[in-house]
């Protein structure tokens, strides 16, 4: 049980206090876990720090970690037609993380750091969809949900300026976890990074650098799209900045968010992206020559050997995206972008001497969208209630869903604890349906 648990007599809310080197941090004691919300791992990326690499957070005294975490400013997700939508405060002061722990004691539990997807443009680390309480309680693990900068704020590429700062945010959050998680009952030497889509691709990209984690779970990583080359990224950024009304990054630092959002949706940017013809997001990791040297492909090949992995995808990935349905073309595209490269990553990892497992999530309660991109996430987190209005789950049978939650969580927790998830290693593929 946590130390220093107190109950507010006015609200009947139990709080728990943890002592960190820089001061006290006060979280909320829930039924089975303690939650420490909106903990800053970097300073607010505003003013001169907008578009700049993250600077470690500074605070002293007592930190209130009982309030919800804001998400990075963003436009609505293009996948809300299948996932539904979420409500959350938005703020550029978003370089924060949330910790769920069975107990903030001296036990050394395995740690899962969650990196959300959203095409590098939307999402948040601790929205209700990704509440880590159930996973933490069931697995006796510490779960950490991380925000990172999105869209132009995190991924705009201007030659001569630091690129990929959204990825640097994620690495800064991991460093914070390594340095502080022991105070929350976690083991800094047993860290699994778990990511979906853009978040999963970022994990793979981090494995080309100096990863501070021991295992990785990749859900629907868009490994088949790869990085954007610097020349093309610079061209798109130039079109973007012009549409936003800025001549350079210095001017863009003082623009209101509305100008950045307007540029993101401008006809000129849409046309430039269409001309690229790569069917990829406006923002993504860039081969900038510094964070990611060119050529990056050989590094990605050797990255497969860096950590043990659990890698998978859904049966009908592309059916989630606007304008797509389940047909031969969309299935081929899903195979090319998500499925085949994921299986190959696991196979390469295994060949390199790593433990590696593959999975496919094929459960398709709504035949219109099938087993689409994102449909596995409610089952991994066990948060079916948070996805109650998600069109992708329409037609779901409660008993079947509960069985899938049990199967996925059991397997994922075993992997996080350093054991087999329960089936043969790659190239074998475990199908959940």
Residues annotated as catalytic (active site), given as ranges: 197, 317, 373
Reported in sequence order, the residue ranges of 326-406 that DSSP labels E, i.e. its strands, are 356-361
Up-side HSE of residue 282: CA atoms within 13 Å toward CB? 27
Three-state SS for 6?
strand
Concatenate the DSSP letters of all residues of 168-207 into one string: HHHHHHHHHHHHHGGGGTEEEEEEEEEEETHHHHHHHHHT
- Cα of first residue to Cα of last residue in the chain, in angstroms, is 37
Query: What whole-number distance in Å separates Cα of residue 166 and Cα of residue 156?
Result: 9
Report whether the peptide linkage leading into residue 36 is cis, meaning its omega lies within 30 degrees of zero. Answer: no
Query: What whole-number distance in Å separates Cα of residue 344 and Cα of residue 224?
Result: 10
Contacts of 344 (CB under 8 A, 6+ apart): 223
Query: What whole-number distance in Å separates Cα of residue 43 and Cα of residue 293?
Result: 27
Query: What whole-number distance in Å separates Cα of residue 415 and Cα of residue 423?
Result: 11
Strand partners, 19: 24
Query: What whole-number distance in Å separates Cα of residue 63 and Cα of residue 23?
Result: 7
Query: What whole-number distance in Å separates Cα of residue 177 and Cα of residue 186?
Result: 9
Please state whether 251 falls in left (phi above 0), alpha (psi between -120 and 50) or beta: alpha
Contact 204, 123 (CB under 8 A): no
| Sign of CA pseudo-dihedral 345, 346, 350, 355 | positive
Q: Which residue has the tokens 């990224």?
A: 233
Structure tokens given for 430: 């475990």
Strand partners, 62: 24
Q: What are phi and psi for residue 100, nearest 5 degrees?
A: -115, 125
């Amino acid at each position: 049980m946590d130390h220093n648990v107190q109950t507010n007599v006015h609200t009947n809310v139990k709080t728990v206090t943890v002592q960190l080197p820089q001061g006290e941090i006060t979280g909320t004691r829930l039924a089975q876990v303690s939650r420490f919300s909106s903990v800053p791992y970097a300073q607010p990326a505003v003013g001169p720090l907008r578009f700049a690499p993250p600077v470690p957070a500074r605070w002293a005294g007592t930190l209130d970690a009982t309030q919800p975490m804001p998400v990075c400013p963003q436009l609505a997700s293009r996948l809300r037609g299948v996932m539904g939508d979420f409500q959350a405060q938005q703020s550029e002061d978003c370089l924060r993380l949330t910790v769920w722990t069975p107990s903030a004691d001296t036990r050394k539990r395995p740690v899962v750091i969650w990196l959300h997807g959203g095409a590098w443009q939307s999402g948040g680390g601790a929205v209700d969809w990704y509440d880590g309480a159930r996973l933490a309680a069931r697995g006796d693990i510490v779960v950490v949900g991380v925000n990172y900068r999105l869209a132009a704020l995190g991924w705009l590429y201007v030659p001569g300026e630091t690129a990929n700062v959204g990825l640097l945010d994620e690495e800064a959050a991991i460093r914070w976890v390594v340095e502080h998680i022991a105070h929350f009952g976690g083991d800094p030497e047993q860290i699994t990074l778990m990511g979906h889509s853009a978040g999963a691709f970022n994990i793979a990209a981090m494995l080309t650098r100096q990863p501070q984690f021991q295992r990785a779970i990749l859900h629907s990583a868009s490994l088949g799209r790869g990085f954007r080359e610097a020349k093309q990224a610079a061209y798109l950024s130039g079109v973007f900045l012009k549409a936003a009304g800025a001549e350079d990054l210095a001017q863009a630092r003082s623009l209101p968010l509305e100008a950045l959002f307007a540029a993101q949706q401008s006809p000129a940017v849409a046309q430039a992206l269409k001309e690229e013809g790569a069917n990829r997001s406006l923002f993504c990791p860039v081969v900038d020559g510094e964070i990611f040297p060119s050529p990056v492909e050989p590094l990605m090949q050797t990255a497969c050997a860096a950590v043990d992995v659990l890698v998978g995808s859904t049966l009908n990935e592309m059916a989630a995206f606007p304008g797509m349905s389940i047909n031969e073309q969309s299935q081929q595209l899903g195979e090319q972008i998500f499925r085949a490269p994921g299986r190959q990553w696991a196979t390469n990892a295994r060949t390199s001497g790593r433990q590696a497992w593959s999975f496919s999530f094929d459960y398709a309660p709504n035949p219109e969208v099938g087993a689409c991109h994102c449909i596995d996430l409610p089952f991994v987190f066990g948060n079916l209630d948070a996805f109650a209005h998600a069109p992708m789950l329409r037609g779901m049978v409660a008993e079947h869903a509960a069985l899938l939650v049990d199967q996925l969580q059991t397997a994922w927790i075993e992997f996080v604890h350093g054991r087999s998830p329960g089936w043969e290693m790659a190239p074998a593929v475990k199908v959940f349906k």
